[in-house]
A = this chain, B = another copy of it.
Amino acid sequence: MTDETLTIRLMCEQFAVTPRTLRFYEAKELLFPLRKGHARLFTRADRARMTLILRGKRFGFSLEDIRQLLDMYDPGGSNEAQLTRTFELAQKRLHQMEAQRAELDIAITDLNLQLAEGARLIAAFRSAAT
Contact = CB atoms under 8 A, between A and B. Distances in A.
Interface of A: 55-56, 58-60, 72-73, 80, 83-84, 86-87, 90-91, 93-94, 97-98, 100-101, 103-108, 111-112, 114-115, 118-119, 121-122, 125-126, 129
A73 to B, nearest CB: 6
B119 A87 contact: yes
Contacts of A87: 115, 118-119, 122
Copies in the complex: 2
A108 B106 CA distance: 18
A55 B103 contact: yes
A20 B126 CA distance: 43
A94 B122 contact: no
A43 B101 CA distance: 30
B103 A91 contact: no
25 contacts: A55-B106, A55-B107, A56-B107, A58-B103, A59-B59, A59-B60, A59-B100, A59-B103, A59-B104, A73-B114, A80-B122, A80-B125, A83-B118, A83-B121, A83-B122, A83-B125, A87-B118, A87-B119, A90-B111, A90-B118, A97-B104, A97-B108, A97-B111, A100-B104, A101-B105
